[in-house]
Amino acid sequence: MNNPFAAHSSENRILGKSPRPLPSWLLPLLVLLVAGGIVSFFVLLFGTEPARAWQVFLVNFIFWSGLAMGGVVLAAIFQVTNARWPTPVKRLAEACAAYLPVSFLFFLVTWFGRHTLFPWGDQPIPAIASWLDFSFFFGREAIILLLLYGVALLFFYRSVLTEANAQSDPHPPLSPKPDQDRASLQKLAVVLLILYAFLFTVFAWDFIMSLHPEWSSTLFGGFFFVGNLYLGLATITVLTIYARWRYNLGDAMNPVIFHNLGKLLFSFSLLWTYLFWSQYLVIWYGNLPREIGFVLVRTEREPWSNLAIAILIMNFLIPFVILLSRTAKENRKILLASSVVIIVGMWLERFLLVVPSLSSGLQIPLGWAELLITASFFASFALTYLATLHRIAILNKF
């Protein structure tokens, strides 16, 4: 039986070096984590606290979907801006699209937890009852995800095809010229960016803001999709360090690449904090009862206030202080540690956005079962991503 993580011949031709073999225990471990998460989900679901199962499921669906889209959108940004320095990491970013079909399957699963996750379904709010209707809610989200994921997957496919055509023949007889291919890819990237900004704003309204239907914020959609880009960038940094080790890409992925990734992480830490503060300040200053409740629960009341402080430290203070240094930006170990801290911090941020709206307990509902379910989502992402890297060229020229 072929190992799905074994070296692919096309990769060897393009990279010129054989990849380091992955540990033989990795595939069984990832499969075991997926199975363990499924078991943990059903243990919670049929236990004394079934709501916890759906809460952590929704958190992970939002987190991993945002991570995957964040990676693809960053690749589209690189394409639109004609940036040359990220060329060695662009394919790593757009390969995150491989997870999107899995994400859509997880979206379908949320239908079965709708009465637990969305209390407005059983107790409609007259002013927004037509918008928050289960049929309309899941119908529009299905259209949104099919459209956005379809364009993202098409962008990934066309990018790989453009590279393959350019590698095989500068003027392939059965496809457009490479320049035309790249122009088409450029237009597709623009479409993807526009759809992402609009559709993921609606996604944030539906899956997070509707959990607390009395609260609304016009800035929340922007805060959410910028957070996905921050998360996607941290993930790409980790994947770049991994690919450099696995595929012996020291020449292509030099300190300049890591320095630029570090600068982007530093910039996004400031942007994420700016958007958070802009939203918080207006709500705090306005002090309107229907707005302040969402913020007070998360920033002033136990058990959530300490978690909010930890999130601010992990997503802003740590990367800001560490990545001020040029040396730190070029040090792969420091950059890796900073990126992992950001990824964990962003998961906790998604947890803080979702769970307080659904949980009224005096303790944070985060135990071994939730961690196993999260590890299962991670394993599903890792399996799809690694299997995709096996089938495509890691480096691209355009």
| DSSP-derived 3-state class of residue 251 | coil
Residue 34 lies in a domain: yes
Measured CA to CA, the distance from residue 103 to residue 124 in angstroms comes to 28
Q: What is the per-residue pLDDT across 116-134, written as a single tens digit (0 to 9) for each?
A: 999 888 787 887 888 899 9
If one counts the domains in the chain, the total is: 1
181-208 pLDDT, tens digit per residue, is 788 899 999 999 999 999 999 999 999 9
In a domain, 2, yes or no: no
Cα angle value 96/357/223 (rounded, 5°): 45
HSE-up of residue 20 (Cα within 13 Å, Cβ side): 10
In a domain, 398, yes or no: no
The residue among 131, 108, 151, 281 whose CA lies nearest residue 202 is: 131
Token digits of residue 327: 């040396």
**Over the chain, what is the mean pLDDT?**
89
User: Quick check: is 253 in a domain?
Assistant: yes
Q: Among 12-21, 45-54, 156-165, 200-209, which is the least confidently predicted range?
A: 12-21
Average confidence (pLDDT) over 288-311:
89
Does residue 1 sit within a domain?
no
Q: What is the pLDDT of residues 345-398, one digit of tens each?
A: 999 999 999 999 998 777 899 999 999 999 999 999 999 999 998 888 776 655
Arithmetic mean of pLDDT, 62-91:
94
Most confident by average pLDDT, 137-151, 152-166, 292-306: 137-151
Domain that holds residue 249: 9-391
Residue of higher predicted confidence among 226 and 287: 226
* Residue 3 covered by a domain: no
